[in-house]
Structure 1
């Protein structure tokens, strides 16, 4: 009896196991439910990028029937199904015929049927971008310690990486500049050295910068000696002072100036946030510098005109990058008169001339370091520097064809549209004539 019962139980147990296996295999579900692809994650990466294609790759998911590729062009937009890969063993896809310098985000999910329904894995998303077109660049040795690099702008580039190579050595990063730049001055070069550059546009996706094609510039050798020291004689500095005073406050009459000039904020330009004073148009912190100099060199003058320290307290404590006084304001009107009295006093006139000579020396050193040697051409560049800043000088020199002469620089200025310099044609014509006439 016992043996018959045991045999019966074993037979029933075997049939039960066989029934369970049949159900599992027939439904397409793995014996180990924990191995379902819903518990696994597809990790996607960008493994190659060209100007027109991106290659994406992902890890293989065990048991997957295939993969669904999602893509979107903006993080503000939802993912859309882009492609379906019907092989579980395929782990890469080449996305072709894309626009140049375009950012995309991808995600990949594994899929298969379980219990008669499609189920999907987890996923991670990845950003990538097609590379921008390359750009050509030209370089010019401005001095023994400076090279100017210019290049053509590239559509949809997020910026440019500038590399240099010295004496046929290895490439090294010189600078990384924004997309609005097409000119760069490299001041970290050595005298008597051969250089070549490449400017590589890039498109940024996440933390990766996808660089455009490497295109080498022309090759130049820096001079063995620098010409950065000031070369103007005292009479040439005097000519330059009279020119700058004339165009600033002298009514464009050579030798004229108004030492007592006071100009309110925004009078000359929407970007001038502070007051401008004196014959040389000392603006904002330059005006503060002038008033400090008068206070240091002639305390008696300050005591005479600013006995209650109304202006001096502002000189010490106010933010002069935005310091404003308005003539219609009664409180400001008294401060304005104090400033006018200070700058038009003998001490104020002397300080203005001192600062003008010092500024001319500083600007001259900058200009000569850019490779400008002729005195008349240097004077023209000082005029540009005083009016539009250092960036205006490099911009116009970058447009200058041939040697840095007065005539060639003046021609380049006539085509300038980068700011005030090209707009003030009467001023530039006057300066050109005076330099021709008086700068010997």
Structure 2
């Protein structure tokens, strides 16, 4: 390392900056879990704190490292790690200033460092089981005498200076979490729990982190405490989630179409031939078949990708068929009376064909909608061709006898 590089590195603070970001991302994580009556704060009572509805306050110290071991993994929170003892020392100073905080405060040390073989953490875990404070006190005395680091020695000495009863209560309210290095992934998972749409997670994360950082800057600049209640989060940052709930048009594309070998054997084509809308060999058969297959492909794709709900699909089908049925009843009301009076369908064929043409002309003007999204005339026409191909609808007065019962 040359002298210029050494000077530059001395006056930059990338490790400190990422440590600060780590604290802020942990704050975001807590903000996403807020419940009615809770309040989370950043750099107010501690690195991060949360005031719960029940009156409990949880203080968080978030410690981040970029240092790695020889194998490339992050360094461990060792037994005599200065971050560990400086953190505990801060909280002990708080207790000495006001012992009453032990009644309604909890203390959380969160770090991306690994745990390794940390004697204090092991001893603390055992204490949580048996409440034997004497073993922790013995370990603290041993570590104070063992360390060559004067800062660590001073911190341990300060911890040992509080009364035994207070120390026991403090350690019962202490929690230490290591290996918390996936903080951004945790935030994104919580966002996913809110929006339920994986493809929107990154967009919401970027919007939320950006807006919360700006809010932090402006509140700090105005000498305000950066604290967020459940209601604040909804009011100030709820718009960041709007993309997940805004109505978006269903995606439309042109699918490659494989036409069937015998176009005129399709039921919907037979129905159109029957009323004289087309004739055999008509090039419109290819156009209508393409429209039908495009409509079928779109609906299948939207359903498969969960862009429309099964209930929305059912409602769409019912609405389309109801429009056909209402117009069918209106067009053929007089024909029905004549048939009921004894006229034969064969004698009425010319009138039936004309009414069938009027019926399909009417429905070709319909712009069907699914999930409040209009399909457009081409896909709407294609959907009616698909319904008549099943067949669930028809154009001829006697279409059920001719096609549905075959």
TM-score normalised by L of structure 1: 0.23
Q: Whose RCO is larger (CA < 8 A, sep 6+)? A: 2
The structure carrying a bigger helix percent of its residues is 2
* Greater strand fraction, Structure 1 or Structure 2: 1
TM-score by length of 2: 0.24
